[in-house]
Structure 1
């Protein structure tokens, strides 16, 4: 088996809403486990672990911070791919959030944009144009 990176995001209490939104944007299979399912201290509805596996082979994991955790919340994710797909994802992720840099052609020749979604996650979207 080859090694793979899987981004992991932390939320204060919005993991379920964020991951459900990301499933709507990217598609795929979402698995959630709550604090209550394992009898963990704290709000039983908070998400201990979530995993989204998309049809494109992307894997995103997340959870709400656990009591006493030193993990912060938030994070950023960079996605590279074809412009048609990424443009739709960018628009969906920016909905209810804030666009910091519109998705447009940049001086290095590729299409790039940056937004922060309504959950405070920064998305860096880079569409490869096939230039050499």
Structure 2
């Protein structure tokens, strides 16, 4: 068994796919639109272009993304953590995700990481960015 998180972006999934590909190098595995999969007789007007299911890999972890018909927008109680190779990479990653979003905690040293920060991206998804384990951390 494998757990694969699914993230819903009502009406904005295609934009999210493009953003994450460009901002953090997400690898798009597949992208199925409603009109490509569902029989035309069952497609609701105005939804053929929407994402039924897409697969991406971010930092070696597979996710599914979708427009999520009937799913309420918003990500409450969820944060995705990106462990970066260096402080410079963390800086670049935080800045890329902050484009159209909001940095909540600027990068700074913590007890467990050389740098740590958080950002809510333009889609409302919370990200934790960190790099470099502190040698004095347990």
TM-score, with structure 1 as normaliser: 0.80
What SS class does the counterpart of residue 19 from structure 1 fall into? helix
Structure 2 alignment gaps of length 5 or more:
none
What SS class does the counterpart of residue 115 from structure 1 fall into? strand
Q: What is the aligned partner in structure 2 of residue 32 from structure 1?
A: 31
Q: What is the aligned partner in structure 1 of residue 102 from structure 2?
A: 98
Tell me: CA distance 1:88–1:124, structure 2 relative to 1, closer, same or farther (3 Å). Answer: same
Shift of 1:32: 0.9
1:41 partnered with 2:39 = no
Conserved? CA contact 2:104–2:119, under 8 Å: yes
RMSD of aligned C-alpha atoms?
2.3
Q: What is the aligned partner in structure 2 of residue 11 from structure 1?
A: 9
Q: 1:131 aligns with which of 104, 110, 135?
A: 135
Conserved? CA contact 2:20–2:26, under 8 Å: no
Shift of 1:29: 3.2
Tell me: CA distance 1:93–1:51, structure 2 relative to 1, closer, same or farther (3 Å). Answer: same
Q: What is the aligned partner in structure 1 of residue 60 from structure 2?
A: 57
Conserved? CA contact 1:7–1:77, under 8 Å: no
Distance 1:80 1:5 in 2: 20
Moved more, 72-81 or 89-98: 72-81
Structure 1 alignment gaps of length 5 or more:
none
Conserved? CA contact 2:10–2:68, under 8 Å: yes
Runs of 4 or more, structure 1, over 6 Å off, are: none
What SS class does the counterpart of residue 36 from structure 2 fall into? helix
Distance 1:90 1:4 in 2: 28
- Alignment deviations for residues 91-126 of structure 1 (CA, whole Å, 9 cap, x no partner): 1001110011001112x1411111100111111112
What SS class does the counterpart of residue 128 from structure 1 fall into? strand
